[in-house]
Amino acid sequence: MAFSLDNLLVIGISSRALFDLETEEAIFQNQGLDAYRQHQLENENAVLKPGAGYSLVKALLKLNSLTPGHRLVEVVIMSRNSSETSLRIFNSIEHYGLDISRAALSGGAPLTPYLQAFNISLFLSLHEDDVQAAINSGVASALLYQLPENAADLEQIRIAFDGDAVIFSDESERIYQEQGIEAFEAHERANAKQPLPAGPFARLLVALSYLQNNFKTPDGRAFPLRTALVTARSSPAHERVIRTLRAWNIAIDETFFMGGVNKSAVLAAFQPHMFFDDQHGHCIKAASVVPTGRVPIKQERSQ
| Domain stop point among 98, 115, 144 | 144
- Residues shown for the chain: 303
Q: What pLDDT sits at residue 299?
A: 87
How many CB atoms are located within 10 Å of the residue 42 CB?
A: 10
CATH of the domain at 15: 3.40.50.1000
How many CB atoms are located within 10 Å of the residue 84 CB?
A: 12
Indicate whether 136 and 179 sit together in one domain: no
* CA 200 – CA 17 distance, rounded (Å): 20
- Residue 186 in any domain: the answer is yes
Residue 201 sits in which domain range?
A: 157-294
Indicate whether 131 and 47 sit together in one domain: yes
Beta bridge partners of 141: 123
Q: What pLDDT sits at residue 28?
A: 87
Indicate whether 174 and 287 sit together in one domain: yes
Largest CA distance in the chain: 63
Indicate whether 125 and 197 sit together in one domain: no
The single-letter code of the amino acid at 5 is L
Indicate whether 178 and 135 sit together in one domain: no
Strand order in the sheet with 141-144: 102-105, 73-79, 9-13, 122-125, 141-144, 292-294, 274-277, 157-161, 225-231, 254-257
- Write out the catalytic residue numbers: 162
Q: What pLDDT sits at residue 303?
A: 44
* CA 67 – CA 72 distance, rounded (Å): 8
| Domain stop point among 117, 144, 171 | 144
Q: What are phi and psi of 133, to 5 degrees?
A: -65, -35
- Residue 220 in any domain: the answer is yes
List the one residue out of 99, 112, 93, 143 whose CA is nearest residue 287: 143
Q: Structurally, how many domains does the chain consist of?
A: 2
Indicate whether 75 and 164 sit together in one domain: no
- Reported in sequence order, the residue ranges of the chain that DSSP labels E, i.e. its strands, are 9-13, 73-79, 102-105, 122-125, 141-144, 157-161, 225-231, 254-257, 274-277, 292-294
Cβ(257)–Cβ(235) below 8 Å: yes
List the one residue out of 85, 201, 197, 82 whose CA is nearest residue 134: 201
**What is the residue-level pLDDT of the chain in tens, covering all 303 positions?**
345 566 689 999 999 999 999 998 899 889 988 898 899 899 999 999 999 999 999 999 999 988 877 889 999 999 888 888 889 999 999 999 999 999 999 888 889 999 999 999 999 999 999 999 999 999 999 999 998 877 767 778 999 999 999 999 999 989 988 998 889 989 999 999 999 999 999 999 999 998 888 887 777 777 889 999 999 999 888 999 999 999 999 989 999 999 989 999 999 999 999 999 999 999 999 999 999 999 999 987 654
